[in-house]
Each structure stands twice: as C-alpha cells, then as structure tokens.
Amino acid sequence: MIIKLPPPKQKGNITLEEAISKRRSERNLESKTLSLETIGQLLWACQGITDSRRNLRAAPSAGATYPLEIYLVKNDGLFHYIPEGHKLEKIKDGDLRGELCDACLGQGFVRDADIDFVICADFKRTTSRYGKRGEMYVYIEAGHAAQNLHLQAVSEGLGSVPVGAFSEIAVKNVLGLSPGLIPVYIIPVGHIKD
C-alpha cells in the first residue's frame, strides 16, 4: 500500500536558531498519534527531495550517492519512505515497537514513542565510488539526516532521542531488511509527556 504524503512546508514555526537552542534528547515520550502532515514534514527534513530538477535531498550526500533508506515503525505497521514522490510504502502490518524496543536493549522510549525512525544504509552505493573511505561518508550522511530530523521535531513541538545502542542483527530481523541494508541510527519521535 502506498500513502501519498502532504506537501512539506517551506517555512517553519520557529527559527533555526530557536530549534538548535531547544533541541534536547527527550526520553519521556508518549504514543499520541502524529498527523500524516507532521510525519511527512519529518521525513522531508530527513531525506526529502529539495531540488526536483537535480533530485537533490535535504541532507548532503557524498557524490549524491544517497545510501540511506528510512523506515518508520508505528503502532499500525512498518513503513518505508520513498523520497521520489514524497510517499510511504506500508511493508508490514502490526505494532513492532515492542520488538524494536527489545532489539534496542530494552530502552522503553523506543516502545513508548509514536514513531521510531530507523535510518538504514546500503553502504555499497557509496563505497562503490569512494572505496573504504565511503563507509565514513555514509555515517556522516546519517548524522546530517538525523540532525535535520531532530531539529524538525523541535520545530513541530515534539521530542526526539538518538539511539545508537541496539543489536544490528535483531533490528534487521524485526524490520525484515534485505542483507545489503544495515541499520545505523534509530530516532524515536513523539509528544513529550507532561
């Protein structure tokens, strides 16, 4: 099933400087449902196309190799973001947040957040051009995409937290990733509990 996302906003609710100043790792998240518009805005900030003529994205990529693939784990299933056309593809039904929480060494905010963004990478897209050094470029790109996502979350009045402590094999199994895709970063996002 393909879900067309609403067009992203080009003007935010707060300045970039305010977003940077307010960004914190928020672990006290709740699963209050985020709107499709908000989900689309977060995805656009992370990996959306910002120049359709040249197919360039929101986060810089070494040689425009774009090794990142973004997955969402929500209460109603697993989704894959498709930047071309700004849409989501539903991959699997069911709530996988508990299983993902287990794969993240029991960090409860992974289960509690409305959405877990899982940034995965196909390293060969970049290493085929840059050799071994391309591995570093992929991690740098994941950092760019993640920071955009964190700042957009602040702009939307949401909390987010970076997660690097997880079992790569367990996350791959929960998401059913192909052998060439490696999870590199998980970002739970949701409303902050009062």
Q: CATH no. for residue 186?
A: 3.40.109.10
Q: Which of 158, 171, 148 is nearest to 73 (CA)?
A: 171
Say what the pTM is.
Answer: 0.95
Give the Cβ contact number of residue 127 at 10 Å: 18
Q: Is residue 7 part of a domain?
A: no
Q: Is residue 171 part of a domain?
A: yes
The tally of domains found in the chain comes to: 1
Average pLDDT score over residue span 26-35: 91
Res. 107: pLDDT tops 90: yes
Highest mean pLDDT among 8-17, 20-29, 94-103: 94-103
Q: Above pLDDT 70, what percent of the chain?
A: 100
- CB–CB of 33/42 below 8 Å? no
The owner of tokens 């003529």 is 53
Q: Which of 188, 112, 101 is nearest to 150 (CA)?
A: 188
pLDDT of residue 194: 82
Which domain range does residue 61 map to? 15-192
Res. 28: pLDDT tops 90: no
Res. 99: pLDDT tops 90: yes
pLDDT of residue 164: 96
Q: Is residue 70 part of a domain?
A: yes
pLDDT bin (cut points 50, 70, 90) of residue 31 is confident
Q: Is residue 4 part of a domain?
A: no
Q: Is residue 5 part of a domain?
A: no
pLDDT bin (cut points 50, 70, 90) of residue 20 is confident
